[in-house]
Structure formats: C-alpha cells, structure tokens
Structure 1
Amino acid sequence: MADPVTYRPSPGSIPVDPGVYRFRDAHGRVIYVGKAKSLRSRLSSYFQDPRGLHPRTATMVRTGASVEWTVVATEVEALQLEYAWIKEFDPRFNVRYRDDKSYPYLAVTMAEEYPRAMVMRGSKRKGNRYFGPYTHAWAIRETLDLLLRVFPVRTCSNGVFKRAEQVGRPCLLGYIDKCSAPCVGRVSAQEHQAIAEELCDFMAGSHDRFVRRLQQRMRTAAEEMDYEQAARLRDDIGALTKALEKSAVVLPDGTDADVFAVADDELEVAIQVFHVRGGRIRGQRGWVAEKDAETLEEVVQHLLQRVYGEEDVPREVLVPVLPADADALAAWLSEQRGSQVDLRVPRRGDKRALMETVARNASQALARHKVARAGDLTARSQALQDIKEALGLEDAPLRIECFDISHIQGQEVVGSMVVFEDGLPRKAEYRRFVVRGDVDGRTDDTAAMHEVLTRRMRHLVAMDDHAGVPPSGGEGGTPAGIDEETGRPRRFAYPPNLVVVDGGAPQVAAAQRVLDDLGIEDVALVGLAKRLEELWLPGEEYPVVLPRTSEGLYLLQRVRDEAHRFAITFHRQRRSKAMTASALDGISGLGAARRKALLARFGSVRRIKEATPEQLAEVPGIGPGLAGRIAAELGSQGSAPAVDPRTGEVLDDHA
C-alpha cells in the first residue's frame, strides 16, 4: 500500500469551490468517488493522521496512489456528477447501498398495442408501469389472479398471443373470462387499453372508486332482477376486497411514501425500507452493507443518492435523520421525480409509529447478519490462506481469474473468464471469448486455452507499456488502466494475482507457454482437474492434493464451476443462434434485419417454410421478388412457383 504523503496535493492547489473528487490506485482504477461543499476542506481531511480516520477511509487512502477533482457550480450538480461517476466506475470503496437481490414488480406493458400484465425483475423499461417491489413473485401472481376477474387484461407471452391470433382460438384464460381475449377480437385494442388503464389506476391506489362502482352496478342488477349478473358482481367485489386485504392499511388514503430506517455498528449498517402507495404497504426491502461514513447523516445521504439514482421517487421520503445538505438532496430528488418531494423526519402520529416498526426490522436484520457474516468472513479468509500456503505464494490471491473452454466436437468453440475478488464474484468483469483459431477440425482444448489466455494477457503487456500515474489534480500522463481517448477504464485493465485454468497438466502447460512468451512473471498459475479435484502447478510432475474439507479447495471449485457455467451458457447461446439462422443463411437479399423480421412474424423457421410467398411478402422489408426466393430456397408449400425477381409476378410453366 502507498504512503498517502507521496501523493498528497498541496492545500493551496485545491480550490475551495464545491466539486467531486476521485481517488485512483496504482493501476489507475477509480477506487472512491466523493463530493464536497469545499474541495480543499474535504480533501485535506483525508491526509490527516490515519489513526483519526474511519477504518474503511484509512484503508482507502492507503490503497490510493493519486487524487483528482472537478469543480462544479452548485451542490445539486455535485450530487448529479457524483452519482454518474459512481455508476460509471463502480469504485470498490463506495458502498452501493443496494440489495444484491432483484425484487419482483408487477409490470403492465402500456407501450404495447395490447398491454400485458406480468412479473418483472431487473432494470425497468421505458413505457411500462411498475407496481411494487414485492418480496415474493408468488404474492404478485396471487394478487393478479384475483384482479383478473375484474380487469381481464392479457397475461400471455407474445408467442402465445400470436399463435392464438393465427388459429383464431383464445387460451384457457379467455374461456374462463380471466382474459378479454383481444387475440381473437373479443375486444378492440382501444377497449383493451382501457382495461389495462383501469388495472393501473387500481394498483396506484384508486380502490374505493372501483369498489363503489361495482356495488352500484350490483344493486342496479338486483333491482332489475338480473340475479346472475348481481352474483357475478358480488364475486368481483369479493375478489377486489381480498386483493386489498393482502396490503395492510397503515396511512391515510393517497399517501405515497418510502419509509427508511437504519441500524448500525462500527463497521456495518442495516437498511430497511417500506414502500407505501395509496396508504398501503406495497413492498418491503432490506439489506446490509459496509459502513462508509462516520455519522448517520452521511449514511442517509449516500443511501438516498444510490437508491433513487435508478428508482422512481415517491411524494414523501421519510428518514430517521436529515443529512447535512438536506435542501440540496431534496432539490435533487425533486428533479428526479419531476415534482416536489418532501424529505423529512416523522415526529409523531401514524408515520412515526411506522418508522419505529421499520427500525425494529432493521435492528433484527443487523443482528441476524452479524451472526451469519462471522462465519462467512472466517471461511473466505481461511480459503485465501489455504490457497496461499498450498501454492507457495507470497501473499493471499485477492484477485483470481479462471478460464474455461466449451464446445461440442470442435464446433462453436468459446472461452470464458470469471473474476473473484476477496473470495467473491465480480460479475461486471466477466468476459467471453469466441475462439477464432484453427483447431484442425478436431477438439483441441489446449489450443483454445492458449488463444484465450494470449488474448487476455496481451492486455497486461499493454498496461505495462502505458504504465504511469498522473499527478494530483488530474494533470499529466494518463494512468495505465485508463483509455487516453475515452477516459474510461481499459478492458482487462487490472492484473490477476492468480490464474486458474479448468483442466490438468496439458492445459496448465498451454497457459504457462502464454506467460513465458509474453514475459509475464508476477502472475501465479494453477490448474484444477475435475477427475480428482487436484491442483496442477507448472512444471510439476505430481499434483497438489488439498483435503476435501479445505476451504481453499472449496473456493477454487466455486471459481471453476462459475467459469464452466459462464462458458457453457455462452456456447449454448451461439449454438442456438447458429441452428436458428442456418436455414435462412445464404438467401440472397436476406440480411440480419429481414431474418429477424421474419422470425418475429412467424416465430420459427418451420412456420416460415409453411408460409406462402404472399404471406412472406406481408412482412415489412420483404418484397414479392424476395418472398419468391425465400419460398424457393426453403421449399415452402411443397414446390413453390417461380417468381420474376424484377416484377414479383408468378411465371407459368412455359415462361
């Protein structure tokens, strides 16, 4: 680790304006991003006696090798730039304050012609309306199943919808009146859009309006002695009531708020949040993260900035304490939402009582995590120590890269690289390789491994050629790991401490030839053979065998299995793509966009073969001439008629 004195900027060179700063390590990687009202005051605080710093901050300063900054006009601009840089560089010392789990949402695809209600995870897509998050996907499905009685919006996939459209028969939900069956024309696109809008309004909190409307219709039907319709409406009201019972009423109707609570100790912080929409708890989340601030006010500021950088902001955000720059943070939240956001601490009443409930959940989560984490930290530390001793390394391998090859009889050969840092996967740095080399028509794992490792390790040599760290303030040369043109981290910018290859002595020998050819001497190498789970070192006649109970062996197995999973997934994707597109390849005038349009319209190559030239010509971009060629090449409809490529006219037998 570096001595902070070696890169400390002189106080007079640091501006007193607000801005955002970045610490970089010796490889040029951004390891921390922060903002400050006064850059001079904040940066000077990092270079005081390390014993007075927070343990995480002290480690960060010692890991760093340079610091640079950017001046902005206001604190709100500083918040925006800080969030943008954290998202771009993913610094290791910035705590994300985000759950690793992907929580499910109820999504309604309002941007489609026929909106669909479904369970969705991951990043949100433009044009969809989302409700949640929920703790479990089954809770969404149960609620949606009840609501489909009243709001029969489609829930089928696009493939099922198109098949029903082609055969003219709806699916089971259409027959039992849990779908309005727009696929067969029971309702128009406008009518189906209206049903989807009503479902969204109900989920957004307009409960009473729908219940009152159904009750009025039920009374009218009863007065007209239409008892069958009245009974159906009664059951619809019951379904809505049951769906509402699944969400506890905690606040007055119309209240949209996120309620945060925090429990912390010296090193970690547990966060809980209840999502209240329309006065009801719609979802709950909780996670535990490392503590990157000395005060609770700083934790809350970082927390809100990370959470609402990617999520919708409600009208109210209730927190246990206000951060020091609460006004700037509230202005930033309001800008994210597009309207005023009330950021405050509840003092009394129902909101205060709910805050106490959320706080109890946070305290219990922290207690459970500390018990579980004690064992996890011990196991990871022991695993790295076991690997160090077994391989005779000077230090524990904090960055491990593992490589694997996947193919079937030499076809669609691909490679994978997975990265583990501190014993945990770093998926953002996984890489996939398409092996281009000639393996002489036969399976040759060693040749493929040699190519993949060569392509990866050449980047280390390139990093050495660009070695150098810029002076303080960001002036001077470009860091080794940063691209000079884009200013972004280079691909494969950071060297591994240990390279693991999936295989035995032949694979290790191929990997060692790569290191020798490129002159790389400071990277350890080992192979993990599947048969007996033995470790092969370069040039050794016999393998190293770790005890079956070794934490080090368990970690290497996890790394190897992850590389194998990543490689075989990529291989299956390429094989599936090749099998799908092979029948359409080679047809003159049929490029990638037109192939995609055909598959989107018909669903499969088999259905394309069954289509007539006239049906093929209905696809955008497919003219009559091209449709005739496709039909002739695929043998559609038995013997397809000849078509004049210039006019698209069918030629008779004597033409």
Structure 2
Amino acid sequence: MADPATYRPAPGEIPDQPGVYRFRDEHGRVIYVGKAKSLRQRLNSYFQDVANLHQRTRQMVTTAASVQWTVVGTEVEALALEYSWIKEFDPRFNVKYRDDKSYPYLAVTMADEYPRVQVMRGAKRKGTRYFGPYAHAWAIRETVDLLLRVFPVRTCSGGVFRRARQQGRPCLLGYIDKCSAPCVGRVSAEEHHALAQDFCDFMAGDTARFTRRLTARMKEAAAEMDYEQAARLRDDIGALQRAMEKNAVVLADGTDADIFALAGDDLEAAVQVFHVRDGRIRGQRGWVVEKVEDADDGDLVERLLQQVYGGETAEGGTAGGVPREVLVPVLPPDLEGVQGWLSGLRGSRVSVRVAQRGDKRELAETVRKNAEHALALHRTRRAGDLTTRSQALREIQEALDLPTAPLRIECYDVSHNQGTYQSASMVVFEDGMARKSEYRLFTVRGPEGQGARDDTAAMQEVLTRRFRRYLADRADAGDPELGGDDLEDEDGVARPGHAVPTRSGPVDEATGRPVRFAYPPNLVVVDGGPPQVAAAAAALAELGIDDVAICGLAKRLEEVWVPGDDYPVILQRSSEGLYLLQRLRDEAHRFAITAHRKRRSKGMTASVLDDVPGLGPARQAALLRHFGSVKRLRAASAEEIATVPGMGERTAAAVVAALHPTEQPAEQQTGQQTGQPIGHPTGHPTARPAGQPAAHPRTDDAVQEPAGMLGA
C-alpha cells in the first residue's frame, strides 16, 4: 500500500486550468482517469488525509504510484479526452457500464453496392444504418417481414446472392415478391439503393410520406378500374400500418428523445434507456454498473452519456444517434459541458434535462420501474457468482498461505504428441474471471540439436522465457524494437490476433498500455505434480524472482502441490478454490492443445503432400482450395483429383497413393513381386521408406492420438 505523499506533486506544479488526469500504479498501468475544471483543486482533494477520503477513493490513491495530467482549452475538450482515455486504458477504478444482454439491431448495409437488411449485434460498422436496439430479435424479423412487401430490399447473405447471380435464378423471396431480385437484374443497383433508402427513411420515422404516396396510387388505380393493383396497394398500406402499430405511440409526433432512469445502491446500479423517435419507442437498452469509484448519481449519469454517445458523430446517420432531447433522472454536474459536447456530436443543439410533468414524466417513471426490475434480476443472477469468486480466492489464499488474495493468476500447460510439435499455453484469470486478451502461446524449442524436451524441461523453458521478458521489460533494458505477428514473436511468444507492441519500458508511452509481460502474477499454477512444480520453482529461482507464489494441480487426485513440500495440499472436492484451479487448468489445457493440433495439422499435411512427385506448393494450394480440407481430399478418387486445373492423371494417382499408403495391390501384399514380407499377419507394416510418414488409422483429417501420449 503506497503513501500518496510519496508521489504528490510539489506546490505550484499543478495548473489551475481545465484538463484530464491519470493515476498510474507501480507497474505503470492507468488505474483511474478523471477530468476537472481546475486540475489544481481536483488533484489537491486526493492528497488530503486518507482517513477523510471515501473508501473507494482511499483504495485508489493508495494503489497508485504516480499521477499525470494534460491541460486542455475548454471543459468540452476535457470531456471528450476523458472519454477517449477511459476507452483506451480501461482503468480498473473507473465506473464500467456492462450491457445486461447482447442487444440486436436492425441494420441496413448502405455502403454495399446492393444494400442488405439484416439483424446485427456487436460493434457498429462504418457505412451501415442501425435502428434499435430491440429487446428481441424476433421483433425485428416480424417488422422486416411486413416492410419487405412495400420495400423489397434483399435480405440474403453474400453467398446466396452470388449463387443466385451465377445460376440466373432468384431465391424464394424473389419469387414471392418480397425481394426485388437485383441478383438477376430485375432492378438496377441504383433502383435497389433507392428502395433501401426508402426503407431507412420509414424506419427513421418518416412514415406519413409513404402512406400518403401509396394511398394516392391506390386511388389512381381504382379510378382506372385496375382493381387488382388497387387491392395490392391497399394491402401494402395495411402492412405499413401494422408495422407502425408495433411501436406504440406514447408521445406527440415529432418527439425525438432518449429517456434514462437509474436504480441502485452504494455498490451497484442498473440503468435503462428508452429510445423514442417520432413519438414511438424504437428501442430499449440496459446496463449494470459496479460503483468502483466514489461517484454520485450525477457523476454516473455523466459517465453513462459518455458511453452511450461517445461513438456517435454528426455524420453518423444512425437512428440510435444523439437525439434532440435527453431526459435523465439527475442532471450531471457539468451540465453545460455535457450539452456542448452532445451538440457537437449531433451538429445541432441538444437539451439535457429532467422530466418534470406530463407524458414524458410518466414515461420516465416507466423507465425507472424497468431499471428497478433489471437490478433485482441482476442481483438474483449475480449474487452467487460474486460470492463464489470472492470465496474461491479467499480459499486459495488460505490454503497456500499467501499474504493477499491472488487477484491475478497465470496457469501454464504443455501439449505435444510423442515429443513433437510441442506447444505451451499461458492463461490469465483476474479477480477469478478469464482475461482472454492476456492469453499467450509458446512454441517449445529445446536445446539446439537435442530434439524435443520432456514436460518438466519444457515447463522450465516456458517460465524462464516468460519471466525473463518480464524482468527485461521492468528494467527497460533498451532492446531493439520487437516485431510480431498473429502467431509467434521472436521469443516464441504468441498473442493471437494482435501485433506485438513496441517495447519502451514497462508501459508504452504512446498508448499507456503495459507491454507484453510488464507486470507479474500473484500466483503461478502449472498443470502437473511435484516434477512440474519443481521445474517452475527452478525457473523463477534462477531468475531471482521470489515474490511470485507457485503451485501445481495434479490430475489424478486433484492434489495441489507447492514447491519443497513432500505432501500435497488437499482441498475439499466441493471447495470453490479447487473449482477455480480446475477451471484454470482446463482452460490452459484447452488453449495449449488447440495450438498443438493446429501446428501438428499443418506439419502433417505438408509432410504427406510434399513427398508427392511433381506436386509443388502451387498445386498443393490448388488441391486444398478445391476440396476444402485434407479429409475431403483423402476421400476423393484419382479421377476427381485429375479434374483440378493443373493436375494430370499420373500426379492424381501419386496423390492418392500418398494419402493411402497402406492400400497396396493384392499381389504386393502377398509379397509375390518383391519376394519380401510386407508386414505382420495383422496387416501393420514393419518398416517404411525414409521420409514416409507412419500409417495411422484415420477417421477424419487428424491423426488419432495414442492414449496417454498427448502431453499434459
């Protein structure tokens, strides 16, 4: 626990201007971001007697080891910068709003040549119009089904669209007039785009224009005695009216507002919002927040508005963007700054106020009741989980005699097949929950020229590399810039899906994020018993690290082993601590075996096809592209393989022979041609030519694993 006086800025250093400040811990991680009209007054409030601070504020300032600030010109700029840094650094002491469910949106991909209407979840994409969110996906599909009669925009996937184009026949929706069938040229790209734009306009609330237009066309058709066309238009008007009725009119036409409500206590709160467009409730959304900082309801509302509207722009064009009016339960402390920020996002004035009377007040009360119900439901679902996570960490602390609860735990596992394709995994749990962005993969190399390593040597190598990198990052050794890719960096450490950042000390000065191994775990767990634990302890002792606890979890009896003890630590079978260790071990095993199988599959595929005469990399790629997988290629005949462009009959026969090495002609199996025995009476071969892989019984495109040979 740090003393705030050790990093308090000297008197006069803090400017008396608007700005944003960051508290960092001893490892350089940003743990809190805040803004202030006066940086001097706000920061001085943190450095008073800690006994006078709120409990959560006291915990934050004693966890921090330094504070930095950035001066900006206006309060609006401070608000925008604070939002950006909270999204960038994800500080642990800032309020975090989590969706209480994954909400679906109705999306129209207007950026495509032929826009598509679909249900979408997750992050928003550029060039797509969004409507919602809706509480249920079926509500979107019912609305779309009604509107496709009037606005026949395509809803098919890209694959279905391309296949219809190739075949020259539309899908079922094209035949029943619920799609304009641009795939077969019934309408041009411009006409289809206009249909999609009309669909978006209707969903955005411009409903009267289309109803008037269809009504006029219906009367014209009736006057010309084209009664069939008039009946179709009448049914179209009815479909539009039914679609509008699904969104009850609760306020006057033209009302464009988002109505927020808040319900909670000192520890957590539930938030609900109703999106009202053109007087109709177009969507509903909810969040649950844990109050990890000392914030009142006004501060929570300000943070909420930052999160909801932070990604919107005046040119965004989304129905869920910034409305003209935002109704909140409590005004934010910096009302003028928030209104100015929202007005800049919308491109016109935005009013933030509390509903006092009338229909809006009644609707706000309905939203509040929904928030109270959501909080009660959240407590019912999460009470057990929060309790058991805390209990699990406490039980592990007591069992291993740790000074504090292990808030960050890393678990390691090694996977291999008879010593080949050795891969190791590192999974991370923080506060009892998986943190997948911190997972790592290692390729076990072993000593040069000595082949594969056993499990203990591999475990020692992996831990040595991990903590050597930690020490290097901590010491800011000044190594050259390290490159990386999606599989593995130059030290054999992989971070799937992320490029490895430049190392310039424990924290990248450009982003403020810790580099790969910039801070240590509280506990290291290895999959195995005393040998693996001893190897892990040796790796850390060799590096001089003595402040990281180590334990191992043996599979047979689920025993917990610690270094230097002759007997295991026994946790009850019903123990939450044992259950958490098992989850760690199983997750590490899953992650390691997935990486191992991927490497093994690539290696075995290459070894089989590389031995085929006349089959180079281009032809190998063509085969796999045509058949899709080795399994399908193995099931194909020589005639089917010969149909692939670039393949001849002789090469196709060689591929079949390589994929089925045990399928020899009958006269060869008896040894009549060679005069030598081919194998045992059981049919298994006794020898194979150099470079030819051993034959295994196969049920799919992966080799069956011999029992007990897949490394733990």
**Structure 2 equivalent of residue 519 of structure 1:** 544
Q: Measure how far apart 1:552 and its partner are.
A: 0.8
CA distance in 1, matches of 2:135, 2:417: 40
Aligned partners of 2:119 and 2:137 also within 8 Å: yes
Aligned partners of 1:152 and 1:178 also within 8 Å: yes
Spell out the pairing of 1:576-615 with structure 2 (5 A cutoff). Answer: 604-606=625-627
Q: Measure how far apart 1:488 and its partner are.
A: 4.0
Say whether 1:328 aligns with 2:337: yes
Which residue type is aligned with residue 265 of structure 1? D
Give the counterpart of 2:519 among 456, 476, 494: 494
Give the counterpart of 1:425 among 412, 421, 434: 434
Change (3 A) 1:75 1:583: farther
**Structure 2 equivalent of residue 455 of structure 1:** 465
Q: Measure how far apart 1:298 and its partner are.
A: 1.8
Q: Measure how far apart 1:265 and its partner are.
A: 2.1
Q: Measure how far apart 1:45 and its partner are.
A: 0.9
Say whether 1:385 aligns with 2:381: no
Change (3 A) 1:306 1:54: farther
CA distances 1:266-286 after superposition (whole Å, capped 9, x unpaired): 232221111122322122122
Q: Measure how far apart 1:402 and its partner are.
A: 2.4
Spell out the pairing of 1:71-470 with structure 2 (5 A cutoff). Answer: 71-99=71-99, 101-291=101-291, 292-311=293-312, 312-405=321-414, 414-433=423-442, 449-466=459-476
Spell out the pairing of 1:3-18 with structure 2 (5 A cutoff). Answer: 3-18=3-18
Change (3 A) 1:327 1:509: same
Which residue type is aligned with residue 298 of structure 2? E
CA distances 1:313-347 after superposition (whole Å, capped 9, x unpaired): 22222112222221111111122233332222222
CA distance in 2, matches of 1:457, 1:506: 19
CA distance in 2, matches of 1:171, 1:578: 42
Change (3 A) 1:529 1:233: farther
Which residue type is aligned with residue 71 of structure 2? V
CA distance in 2, matches of 1:106, 1:563: 38
Q: Which shows bigger deviation, 232-241 or 406-415?
A: 406-415
Change (3 A) 1:529 1:334: farther
Q: Measure how far apart 1:295 and its partner are.
A: 2.8
**Structure 2 equivalent of residue 620 of structure 1:** none
CA distance in 2, matches of 1:15, 1:455: 44
CA distances 1:455-493 after superposition (whole Å, capped 9, x unpaired): 3222321244249xxxxxxxxxx9963235765422222
Q: Measure how far apart 1:63 and its partner are.
A: 1.1
Unaligned runs of 5+ in 2: 313-320, 478-502, 630-640, 650-712
CA distance in 2, matches of 1:379, 1:350: 44
CA distance in 1, matches of 2:91, 2:420: 39
CA distance in 2, matches of 1:340, 1:79: 17
**Structure 1 equivalent of residue 490 of structure 2:** none
Aligned partners of 1:406 and 1:571 also within 8 Å: yes
Change (3 A) 1:486 1:352: closer
Higher radius of gyration, 1 or 2: 2
Q: Which shows bigger deviation, 572-581 or 205-214?
A: 572-581
Aligned residues: 599
CA distance in 2, matches of 1:116, 1:231: 28
CA distances 1:168-201 after superposition (whole Å, capped 9, x unpaired): 2322322333222222222221122112111111
Change (3 A) 1:361 1:20: same
Change (3 A) 1:606 1:580: farther
Aligned partners of 1:247 and 1:281 also within 8 Å: yes
**Structure 1 equivalent of residue 482 of structure 2:** none
Change (3 A) 1:74 1:512: same
Q: Measure how far apart 1:568 and its partner are.
A: 5.8
Which residue type is aligned with residue 458 of structure 1? R
CA distance in 2, matches of 1:373, 1:405: 34
Aligned partners of 1:28 and 1:479 also within 8 Å: no
Q: Percent identity between the aligned chains?
A: 70
Change (3 A) 1:51 1:200: same
Q: Measure how far apart 1:421 and its partner are.
A: 1.9
Over the residues paired in the alignment, what is the CA RMSD in angstroms? 3.7
CA distance in 2, matches of 1:587, 1:18: 68
Which residue type is aligned with residue 307 of structure 2? R
Change (3 A) 1:251 1:587: farther
**Structure 2 equivalent of residue 627 of structure 1:** none
Unaligned runs of 5+ in 1: 468-477, 609-631, 641-655
- Secondary structure of the 1:495 match is coil
- Secondary structure of the 2:96 match is coil
Q: Measure how far apart 1:3 and its partner are.
A: 1.9
Aligned partners of 1:11 and 1:44 also within 8 Å: no
Change (3 A) 1:390 1:259: same
CA distance in 1, matches of 2:411, 2:181: 50
Aligned partners of 1:420 and 1:559 also within 8 Å: yes
CA distance in 2, matches of 1:202, 1:127: 18
CA distances 1:34-76 after superposition (whole Å, capped 9, x unpaired): 1111111111111223343222111111111121212222111
Spell out the pairing of 1:536-547 with structure 2 (5 A cutoff). Answer: 536-540=561-565, 543-547=568-572
Q: Measure how far apart 1:441 and its partner are.
A: 8.2
Which residue type is aligned with residue 177 of structure 2? D
Change (3 A) 1:53 1:123: same
What TM-score results when the alignment is normalised by the length of structure 2? 0.75
